[in-house]
Structure 1
Amino acid sequence: MKKILLLGIGNVLYADEGVGVHFVNYIKDKYQFTHPDKQLDIIDGGTLAQGLIPIICQYDHLIVVDTVNSVGVGPGEVYFFDFDQAPAEIDWQGSAHEVEMLQTLNMMDMVGDRPQTFVLGVTPTVIEPMVLGLTDALQHAIPTMEKALLAQLTSLGFNHHQVANITINHVIPDAYKRGCYDDA
């Protein structure tokens, strides 16, 4: 059975930096996905980076959801790309967890353990300590991110149906209570 991992990365205590975690929890609560011979797991990876290697290497296909920095682009811009063909304007030197996740994926690649990897990223507005939530620019980017993800999963043969009528704001208040090992 082919295994696909949707992995949210970020620190929920730093405003927009938590978008990856909030987004995957939102998708997990809002949709149910089915496929006759593929498995989709949705995990909040927080800021674990290298600690996620034993989990990530079990998958054939990886979709990482995170903030990305991009030269000359405003907040709330959405990117979806193959990790091996990252756009030139993507700057991986943003937050500490972005650099750690990049290093983690590169290390996995060197030993042949990295699955086919895609990145669903959005440029952040505010990265401030002790702010739980997303700015308006990122709130407005969520529908675009959702469409890109659903299109990718549909291209992999997954069916989906909405099981809850929620917005991303429904999952944010409890984000700090959820975690990687609760979902694995």
Structure 2
Amino acid sequence: MRVVILGVGNILLTDEGVGVYAVNELLARYDLPEEVEVIDGGTSGMDCLDQVSGADHLLIADAMRAKKDPGTITRLSGDQIPAFFKTKISPHQVGISDMLAALNFHGLMPANIVLFGIEPQSFATAMELSPGIAAILPQVVDMIVAELKTLGLSVRPKAA
């Protein structure tokens, strides 16, 4: 089994970078099994095509404008994801939808895709998350870890 965790976002625009912060926090807090590859995709969805292609499971962490309260975490999977990309929700979203379309076209689409979308509070120019979004970052990481465990993978906290 091959699992790819992709964190996307622009860390120059406050909460737009929450996906990148989430995967970096995951790597800082947990030892992951060799079946798991973590990618800081930044804003370059298509550049991650080779790394994502052929994965059995793809987990994506990203900012998501869903008209919910800031800090709301939404989990989408399967057929929910194409519907999600019909409306523009973040500046780099075209890159992700293009990447998924290319994977599908070439028959390399991961069998299972889960998206963790975090409602942003701010897109101001700053290289840190807003306090409200920074406060829920551990919850995002916990959700990713729980997803890995449902796949039967052993995820252990790093020794202090």
TM-score, length of structure 1 as denominator length = 0.78
Preserved CA contact (<8 Å) 1:84 1:117: no
Q: Structure 2 residue aligned with 1:135, among 120, 130, 137? A: 130
Amino acid at match of 1:110: F
Preserved CA contact (<8 Å) 1:75 1:125: yes
For the pair 1:77 / 2:75, whether they are aligned, the reply is no
Amino acid at match of 1:112: G
* Matched-pair identity in %: 28
Q: Which residue of 2 aligns with 1:31?
A: 30
For the pair 1:96 / 2:95, whether they are aligned, the reply is no
Structure 1 residues 69 and 164, CA, compared in 2 at 3 Å: closer, same or farther? farther
For the pair 1:47 / 2:43, whether they are aligned, the reply is yes
Q: Which residue of 2 aligns with 1:176?
A: none
CA distance, structure 2, for counterparts of residue 48 and residue 90 of structure 1: 16
Structure 1 residues 4 and 89, CA, compared in 2 at 3 Å: closer, same or farther? closer
Deviation at 1:87, TM superposition (A): 9.6
With 91-100 and 47-56 compared, the bigger mean Cα shift is at 91-100
Deviation at 1:148, TM superposition (A): 1.4
The count of residues paired between Structure 1 and Structure 2 equals 159
CA RMSD of aligned residues (A): 2.1
TM-score, length of structure 2 as denominator length = 0.89
Write the mapping of 1:143-154 to structure 2, written as runs, cut at 5 A.
143-154=138-149
Structure 1 residues 164 and 8, CA, compared in 2 at 3 Å: closer, same or farther? farther
Runs of 4+ in 1 over 3 A off after TM superposition: 86-92
With 51-60 and 89-98 compared, the bigger mean Cα shift is at 89-98
Structure 1 residues 125 and 90, CA, compared in 2 at 3 Å: closer, same or farther? farther
With 131-140 and 82-91 compared, the bigger mean Cα shift is at 82-91
Amino acid at match of 1:65: A
Q: Which runs of 5+ in 2 are unaligned?
A: none
Q: Which residue of 1 aligns with 2:107?
A: 112
Deviation at 1:99, TM superposition (A): 2.4
Q: Which runs of 5+ in 1 are unaligned?
A: 166-184
Preserved CA contact (<8 Å) 1:29 1:164: no
Structure 1 residues 20 and 89, CA, compared in 2 at 3 Å: closer, same or farther? closer
CA distance, structure 1, for counterparts of residue 19 and residue 84 of structure 2: 20
Q: Which residue of 2 aligns with 1:10?
A: 9
